[in-house]
Every structure is written in structure tokens, then in C-alpha cells.
Amino acid sequence: MAIARNPTRSVAVGQIQIGGGAPIAIQSMAATKTQDIAATLQQVRLLQAAGADLVRIAVDSKKDVEALAEIRAQTDITLSVDLQENYRLAETVAPHVDKMRYNPGHLHHHEKDKSIEQKVAFIARAAQAHDCALRVGVNCGSVDPRMLERHEGDHERAIVASAIEHCEILDGLGFERYVVSLKDSDWQKVVAVNRLFADQRPDVPLHLGVTEAGMPPDGLIKTRVAFEQLVALGIGDTVRVSLTVPFDDKGQEIDAAREILRDIEAGRFRSVPPSFGEGLNIISCPSCSRVENNRFVELAQEVRALTEYASEEDVTIAVMGCRVNGPGETDDADLGLWCGPTAVNLKRGEETLGYFGYDEVLPRLRQELDAIIVERKSF
């Protein structure tokens, strides 16, 4: 099946090209603490052996940067880094990586006396000085509050507007070596925002992914459906499959991405039953380097097993592994668990119900789930 790709410009990222008609690059993110150099290198090599074109790790402190330098010295794979909430690390990070990802929704947290334009210019200068590409990574759980206000809480319009704004800022700076990602845990929204962005900026390479897709098989299905609809339209230049899986199984993300792309190219599309997306929806973020306790992956699996009895109930449960995504991305769920180093914050919508040990939270979760089911059946 010949698919006419969007005529995006080519962006050099280390040893690979993204966009410009180059093969769709497959990437993933190390699910380790960056300062644990041995474990991070082990996972980078695991992903490289699985066929990853690019591997991303997270940096949030000066000690992380020191570890990053050692990791860079011991691997030759194309390496990206997530600046998380600390854009000011860009200058020290850029010498060690091929691409940096920043989130427009996080730039307002620090140095509030500086404009968004000044902060983006700082990141772009660091990238330019060290032969580094950028990714503008807009995420549903951390949308720029200015954009949400401007678009009256419409997340889809706010996500696209935020991405467009940052493209215009970078273009104005004369920096065109960037790609964009627009992600959501709802595959339908991923399709909608990427189509809208691609209509407005068909020249900009797109990184596709369904964030917090969850555990296999549901996480794979959500991702496959989104990719089938977008890639078949020529949208997408690099992809990431985000799954909640144990350390040693991280290569599944690369295998799954390759299989999905191979099927699309061959014209093999898997139909989605009309009922897909109905009933219980468990969202869980990928096991990445931001996870603050590896017990998170096991907890997500326990939540799925515990809630099987409610499979036909129209309830969304979000299980998040860190403070970066946890607070914001559980707000829209009926029940949310965001996991800290020693305990779990349990939420019902935006309301925090309490802080529970990993071995204590499940009974309370079931209690709240039962209460929601009873309340909804009473109407």
C-alpha cells in the first residue's frame, strides 16, 4: 500500500533523519532513574537491541546531567532527553544529546519574570550551539494555562494552539530543526489534534504517540487505532508506543511499533468493534524514568485485576507513576492514583481522598469504585 506522506521538512537528529520522506523512526524512553547509570545503560541497550532508532531519558537535576554525561560516553545510540520541568538545564544537557524535548505547559513554572519567548530562545540557543534538535512536546495533562483560558477549557483547541505558538516562536528565531508532538490518553483526541495541526503546519515533522495508553492489550489497541488513522493519511514521522510493562519487557514497545507500521504499509488494518472504548477504561502511564517507585507497574496490574468485575461500567481509572504527570492527568478520571516514592495519592476527580501505602490503597479504591457504580445506577 503506497502512502503519500505529508511533505514535512527533514530534521537531523544524531544518526537519523526525521521527516522529509525518511522512514518513520521508532523510539522509546528508558524506564530507569537516570542517576542509576548501570540500570539506565542496561535499558538503553535493551531498547537498542530491540531496534529502537532513538532512546529518550529524563533529566531534572544537576546530578542527572552528570549521569547523562557518563551514559552518553558509553552508548552510541541516538539519544534524546526530556527536560521535564527544568528548562534551565538545557545548556548543560545539550552537549550530551542529539535532541531535547521541552513541554510548553511547563515553562510558566520557573522564572516568571521572563516571557515564554525568552525561555524558548534560551533553549533554542543551547540546541543551536551544540548541534541539537528540539521536540515541542504538548501534553494533555499539562496544557499551557494561558491557552486553556484563551480557548475556554477546550483541550483540543488549546493543545493545537500551544503547538502552533511554539512553532511560530522557533521559526521567528530562525530555528527550524524541531519536531512536534501532541499527545493525549484518548486515542480519538490524538487523532483529532494531530490532524488539525497537520492541516495548519504540514511542513513540521510529527512525533506520534498515545500517552498513558496503559497495559497490553488495551494499550496496544488504543495506539494501533490512532496510528492506523494518522499514518494512513500520511501524518507521522516518528512514533512511540507507550506501555506500562516491567523493566525487562520494555522492548515490547519497539516490537509493537514495528508491527503496527508494517501492517499499515501492507494495508492490513484491524477493525475496531463498535463497543471499543465503552465500559471500564484504565489509563496508566508508560514505565519511564520519571516513575518514583517501581511498585507502580505492579500496582497498575493489580488495579486491572481488582476491577475486572466492573468491566462493563463506564468508569475511567488513571494510574500515574510520578509527580510530573500524576496530579494533572488524574483530574479528568473518575478515580485517580498517582504514585509517589512511598505512597499513593488517591483521587476522585479533582478531589484528593488521601495518601495510602501501596499495600493499602486497593481496598479503598474498590470502595470508591463501588460507590460510583451505585450512584450512577440510582439515576
**Residue 195 domain-assigned?**
yes
**Residue 211 domain-assigned?**
yes
Q: Quick one: which H or E segment has residue 249?
A: none
What Rg, from alpha-carbon coordinates, does the chain have?
A: 20
DSSP state, residue 23: P
Q: Sign (positive/negative) of CA torsion 334, 226, 251, 37?
A: negative
Which residue matches cell numbers 520557573? 110
Portion of the chain with pLDDT greater than 90, in percent: 65
112/222 same-domain check: yes
- More confident of the two residues 110 and 44: 44
- CA 125, CA 377: separation in Å to the nearest integer? 57
- Whether 350 and 331 have beta carbons less than 8 Å apart is answered as yes
- CA 339, CA 292: separation in Å to the nearest integer? 7
- CA 337, CA 343: separation in Å to the nearest integer? 10
- Whether 29 and 288 have beta carbons less than 8 Å apart is answered as yes
Q: Could you give the number of structural domains in the chain?
A: 2
- Give which of 367, 297, 351 is closest to 31, Cα–Cα: 297
- CA 317, CA 296: separation in Å to the nearest integer? 14
**Residue 207 domain-assigned?**
yes
- Looking at the DSSP bridge assignments, the partners of residue 282 are 317
242/309 same-domain check: no
The CATH number for 310's domain is 3.30.413.10
**Residue 70 domain-assigned?**
yes
Compute CA distances 200 → 4, 79, 139, 161, 163, whole Å: 18, 29, 19, 10, 11
Q: What is the mean pLDDT of residues 302-330?
A: 84
Residue-wise over 25-49: b if at least 16 C-beta within 10 A, else e? bbbbbbbbbbbebebbbebbebbbe
- Give which of 72, 57, 126 is closest to 291, Cα–Cα: 57
117/248 same-domain check: yes
> Tell me: the pLDDT tens digits for 40-96?
999 999 999 999 999 999 898 999 999 999 999 999 999 999 987 789 999 999 999
- Give which of 117, 131, 34 is closest to 78, Cα–Cα: 131
**Residue 5 domain-assigned?**
no
Three cell numbers, residue 73: 560516553
Q: Is the pLDDT of residue 35 over 90?
A: yes
Q: Which of residues 200, 231, 265 is at a domain's end?
A: 265
Which residue matches cell numbers 486497593? 362
248/103 same-domain check: yes
29/65 same-domain check: yes
What pLDDT, on a 0 to 100 scale, did the predictor assign at position 201?
97
Cα torsion through 101, 107, 111, 116, rounded to 10: 100
Q: Is the pLDDT of residue 273 over 70?
A: no
Q: Which of residues 265, 291, 321 is at a domain's end?
A: 265
218/337 same-domain check: no
Three cell numbers, residue 107: 515553562
- More confident of the two residues 195 and 3: 195
85/232 same-domain check: yes
**Residue 74 domain-assigned?**
yes
> Tell me: the pLDDT tens digits for 247-272?
889 999 999 999 999 999 888 887 55
47/120 same-domain check: yes
pLDDT band at residue 214 under the 50/70/90 scheme: confident
301/233 same-domain check: no
Compute CA distances 265 → 2, 50, 158, 162, 233, whole Å: 7, 20, 32, 31, 12
Peptide bond into 217 cis (omega under 30): yes
The CATH number for 171's domain is 3.20.20.20
Residue 145 burial class via C-beta count within 10 angstroms: exposed 0-12, middle 13-18, buried 19 and up: exposed
DSSP state, residue 245: -
**Residue 271 domain-assigned?**
no
- CA 140, CA 153: separation in Å to the nearest integer? 12
188/292 same-domain check: no
301/224 same-domain check: no
**Residue 272 domain-assigned?**
no
User: Which residue type occupies 120?
Assistant: V
249/333 same-domain check: no
Portion of the chain with pLDDT greater than 70, in percent: 95
Q: Which of residues 230, 265, 300 is at a domain's end?
A: 265
- Supply the range of the domain harboring residue 54: 11-265
Q: What is the mean pLDDT of residues 237-245?
A: 93
Q: Pick the most confident of 109-123, 262-276, 311-325.
A: 109-123
